[in-house]
């Protein structure tokens, strides 16, 4: 994500970087559109506006991984193009600072909304770290870059250790347990995609200035290129806007609780939050508990505090089922 270095102007008055980067900008724009589609589906699922739980969907999971892979491969290609005339330290530093700052904003924002599953090493964190680690690959023989990429892809399938499940090492991707987070792009195997992008760009000769590469002339092409040049800003802004709008929609279309249920829901949410639950998850869990009690014919007894032993057992079962459903989301 982010703009690449701009080269000298050609005889037509356009920069070589502008002319040759059009295809890369369009590719970034396509990845941005795909990401917005995925996040829209995720939001609908999380907020209960869709019957499909995309976390349990092989198709949606594969789609998300393809989007991450495309961003990382484009990062590798972009590094080759940006530094084709030699390493431009100031430009690299500015780009790295923008991406790292964006990553910190994502961590802070998700911690406020999802404290139990905040993003600590997502796609922006990965791009920042992987860009630094990939710098030697810009000069290494391509065969070695390809070999390194293959080794990084393969290692998580061949060897893992519980020691790498610790909070300080889990970002390497070699642990035996998946961390609880809404976006996780560990070093192994994902750094391999950046190296693959570098190898592709170098084998394809993309580091050489082309004879002619026209800028997009169609409206869709121009729109995608525009989005690709602003991929970082769009990434940071689109999800708060999407999630906020759909959250308001969910509040508007969900039936208001019965007056008698308000006290129960308030107490339930407070108890849930006291145990470390997230605001939106606690809200869904408590609504689920009310619906379960009503479906079991236990609502009146629960409000009056008159549940017998069997009723209390059923209440426990309903609570556990609701908690499991909330955790699955």
- How many helices and strands, by DSSP H and E, does the chain display? 13, 0
Long-range CB contacts for residues 132-135, cutoff 8 Å, separation at least 24? 132/96, 133/187, 133/191, 133/194, 134/75, 134/76, 134/79, 134/191, 134/194, 134/195, 134/198, 135/79, 135/87, 135/92
- Domain end call among 204, 221, 247: 247
45-54, 81-90, 233-242, 319-328 — most confident range: 233-242
Whether residue 275 sits in one domain with residue 239? no
Look at residue 25 and tell me whether its pLDDT is greater than 60. Answer: yes
Query: How many Å apart are CA 193 and CA 62, to the nearest integer?
Result: 15
**What would you measure as the largest C-alpha separation in the chain, in angstroms?**
87
Both 234 and 318 in one domain: the answer is: no
Strand, coil or helix: 184: strand
Q: Does 263 share its domain with 119?
A: no
Beta bridge partners of 184: 121
Residue 319 buriedness (CB in 10 A; 0-12 / 13-18 / 19+):
middle
Mean pLDDT check: name the lowest of 114-118, 120-124, 184-188, 310-314. 310-314
* Tens-digit pLDDT profile for residues 38-74: 999 999 888 878 777 787 788 999 999 999 999 999 9
- The pLDDT of residue 310 is 79
Residue 269 has pLDDT above 80, yes or no: no
186 in a structural domain: yes
Q: Are residues 51 and 85 located together in one domain of the fold?
A: yes
The tally of domains found in the chain comes to 2
Confidence grade of residue 211 (pLDDT, cut at 50, 70, 90): very low
Q: pLDDT category, 328, cuts 50, 70, 90?
A: low
> What distance in Å separates the CA atoms of residue 159 and residue 150, rounded to the nearest whole number?
14
In a domain, 94, yes or no: yes
| Residue 217: per-residue pLDDT | 64
User: Is there a single domain that holds both residue 284 and residue 307?
Assistant: yes
Q: Are 131 and 41 members of one domain?
A: yes
* pLDDT surpasses 50 at 16: no
Report the range of poorest mean pLDDT among 73-87, 213-227, 240-254. Answer: 213-227
Phi/psi at 13 (5° precision): 90, 0
Residue 134 pLDDT exceeds 90: yes
Q: Is 50 exceeded by the pLDDT of residue 197?
A: yes
DSSP code per residue over 299-321: HHHHHHT---HHHHHHHHHHHHH
pLDDT of the residue at 315: 76
**Strands (E) located in 31-179:** none
Q: Is residue 131 part of a domain?
A: yes
pTM: 0.75
Confirm whether 37 is domain-assigned. yes
Q: Are residues 170 and 286 in the same domain?
A: no
pLDDT of residue 77: 95
- The answer to whether residue 41 sits within a structural domain is yes
Is residue 219 situated within a structural domain? yes
Residues 6+ apart with CB under 8 A from 126: 72, 185, 186, 187, 190, 191
Please check whether residue 6 lies inside any domain of the structure: no
pLDDT, residue 263, reads: 61
- How much is the pLDDT for 11? 33
Interatomic CA distance for residues 139 and 263, integer angstroms: 66
Burial profile 100-111: b = 16 or more Cβ within 10 angstroms, e = fewer:
bebbeebbeebe
- Asked whether residue 100 falls in the same domain as residue 176, the answer is yes
One domain, residues 209 and 271: no
Q: Which domain holds residue 316?
A: 255-328
| 123 and 234 fall within a common domain | yes
Is 140 found in the same domain as 193? yes
Domain boundary among 197, 221, 247: 247
Question: How many Å apart are CA 71 and CA 237, to the nearest integer?
Answer: 17
In a domain, 77, yes or no: yes
In this prediction, residue 102 carries a pLDDT of 97
DSSP state of 253: H
Closest to 202 in 3D by CA, of 278, 142, 125 = 142
Partners of 15 in the beta sheet? Answer: 9
Q: Are residues 265 and 239 in the same domain?
A: no
Last residue of a domain, one of 247, 268, 302: 247
- The mean pLDDT of the chain is 84
DSSP string, 149-203: HHHHHHHHHH---GGGGSTTTGGGS-SSS----S-B--HHHHHHHHHHHHHHHHH
């Amino acid at each position: 994500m982010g703009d690449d270095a701009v080269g000298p102007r050609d005889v037509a008055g356009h920069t070589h970087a502008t002319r040759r980067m059009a295809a890369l900008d369009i590719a970034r724009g396509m990845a941005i559109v795909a990401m917005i589609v995925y996040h829209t589906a995720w939001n609908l699922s999380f907020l209960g506006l869709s019957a499909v739980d995309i976390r349990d969907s092989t198709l949606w999971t594969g789609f998300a991984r393809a989007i991450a892979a495309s961003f990382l491969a484009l990062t590798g290609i972009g590094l080759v193009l940006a530094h084709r005339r030699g390493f431009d330290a100031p430009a690299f530093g500015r780009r790295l600072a923008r991406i790292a700052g964006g990553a910190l904003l994502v961590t802070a924002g998700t911690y406020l909304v999802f404290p139990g599953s905040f993003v600590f090493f997502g796609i922006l964190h990965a791009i920042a770290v992987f860009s630094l680690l990939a710098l030697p690959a810009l000069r290494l023989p391509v065969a070695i870059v390809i070999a390194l990429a293959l080794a990084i892809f393969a290692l998580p399938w061949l060897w893992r250790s519980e020691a790498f499940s610790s909070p300080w090492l889990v970002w390497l991707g070699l642990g035996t347990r998946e961390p609880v987070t809404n976006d996780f792009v560990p070093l192994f195997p994902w750094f391999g995609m950046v190296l693959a992008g570098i190898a592709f760009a170098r084998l394809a000769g993309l580091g050489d200035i082309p004879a002619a590469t026209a800028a997009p002339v169609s409206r869709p092409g121009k729109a995608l290129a525009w989005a690709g040049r602003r991929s970082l800003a769009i990434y940071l802004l689109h999800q708060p806007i999407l999630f906020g709008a759909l959250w308001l929609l969910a509040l508007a279309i969900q039936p208001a609780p019965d007056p008698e249920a308000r006290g129960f829901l308030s107490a339930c949410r407070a108890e849930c939050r006291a145990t470390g639950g997230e605001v939106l998850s606690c809200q869904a869990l408590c609504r689920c508990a009310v619906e379960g009690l009503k479906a079991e014919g236990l609502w009146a007894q629960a409000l009056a505090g008159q549940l017998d032993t069997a009723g209390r057992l059923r209440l426990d079962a309903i609570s556990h089922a609701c908690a499991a459903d909330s955790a699955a989301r």
